[in-house]
């Protein structure tokens, strides 16, 4: 299991570095109230439109932590940052080249940052009851299905989640929806798949050479 230490007090993001942040989605009531105050009116309206109360809370915590972390690099007020959404919902900073991507599943969120290249990230909690064969038939390429079937039967569920998170991280990094085609062999993309916590698989994908990969834990 990957170690996620506490972050340094002073943070910088040199060219070529990728920073990953592991974010628990179970804050105290006091922390949740603070995070709620950081969101814009548009973000709060988006949260209110979510009928599932847990999903609404996760959205507020994820966006609030996102604002706090970005602000710690940019030395700005987290509530004052202007965030926009791309065609497929990928958020971006207005007037700043810092690249980032956020994903959450279950009790965790995962944030990836890079200063000089596109980046995407995906996090999934392994569901032992998921009929993943339906998804592979619909979404996997022939090459991805071959990689899945090459694993022993007892390992295929985990192999599926590794392939799935890699595919989605690449598509998110490229700014595409899941209906797009992530060509693993094309371009200059690198990725790393890892266990975020017991039962949680994450993948980071970034364009260009990665000189260093650093991991931090919120809280």
Q: Is position 72 within any domain? A: yes
Q: What is the pLDDT of residue 186?
A: 47
Integer CA distances (angstroms), 214 to 5, 20, 208, in order: 10, 6, 16
Kindly report, residue by residue over 26-59, the tens digit of the pLDDT: 999 999 999 999 999 999 999 999 999 999 999 9
| HEC letters along 120-154 | EEEEEECCCCCCHHHHHHHHCCHHHHHHHHCCCHH
Give me the torsion for CA of 168, 170, 173, 175, rounded to 10°: -70
Kindly report, residue by residue over 124-168, the tens digit of the pLDDT: 999 999 999 999 999 999 999 999 999 999 999 999 999 999 999
Q: Is position 98 within any domain? A: yes
Kindly report, residue by residue over 86-116, the tens digit of the pLDDT: 666 678 888 888 999 999 999 999 999 999 9
Q: How many domains does the chain have?
A: 1
Query: What is the mean predicted confidence (pLDDT) over 167-181?
Result: 77
Domain range enclosing 158:
17-208
Q: Is position 217 within any domain? A: no
Q: Where does the pLDDT of residue 185 fall: very low under 50, low under 70, confident under 90, or very high at 90 and above?
A: very low
Q: How many helices and strands (H and E) does the chain possess? A: 6, 9
Reading the block at residue 120, the tokens are 């995407």
CATH code: domain of residue 93: 3.90.470.20
Q: What is the pTM of this model?
A: 0.92
Integer CA distances (angstroms), 183 to 30, 89, 166, in order: 44, 21, 11
Query: What is the mean predicted confidence (pLDDT) over 74-83?
Result: 94
Q: What is the pLDDT of residue 73?
A: 95
Q: What is the mean pLDDT of the chain?
A: 91
Q: Is position 10 within any domain? A: no
Q: What is the pLDDT of residue 159?
A: 97
Q: Is position 56 within any domain? A: yes
Q: Is position 6 within any domain? A: no
Q: Is position 219 within any domain? A: no
Q: What is the pLDDT of residue 79?
A: 96
Query: What is the mean predicted confidence (pLDDT) over 8-29?
Result: 95
């Amino acid at each position: 299991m990957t170690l996620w230490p506490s972050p340094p007090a002073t943070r910088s993001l040199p060219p070529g570095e990728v920073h990953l942040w592991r974010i628990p989605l179970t804050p105290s009531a006091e922390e949740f109230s603070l995070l709620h105050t950081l969101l814009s009116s548009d973000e709060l309206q988006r949260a209110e439109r979510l009928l599932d109360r847990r999903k609404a809370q996760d959205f507020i915590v994820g966006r609030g932590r996102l604002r706090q972390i970005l602000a710690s690099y940019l030395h700005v007020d987290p509530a004052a940052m202007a965030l926009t959404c791309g065609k497929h919902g990928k958020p971006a900073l207005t007037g700043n080249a810092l690249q980032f991507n956020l994903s959450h599943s279950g009790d965790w969120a995962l944030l990836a940052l890079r200063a000089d290249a596109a980046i995407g990230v995906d996090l999934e909690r392994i569901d032992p009851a998921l009929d993943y064969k339906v998804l592979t038939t619909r979404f996997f390429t022939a090459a991805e299905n071959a990689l899945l079937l090459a694993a022993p039967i007892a390992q295929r569920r985990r192999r599926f989640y590794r392939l799935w998170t890699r595919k989605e991280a690449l598509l998110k990094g490229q700014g595409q929806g899941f209906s797009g085609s992530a060509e693993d062999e094309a371009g200059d993309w690198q990725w790393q798949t890892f266990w975020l916590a017991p039962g949680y698989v994450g993948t980071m994908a970034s364009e260009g050479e990665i000189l260093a990969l650093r991991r931090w834990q919120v809280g």
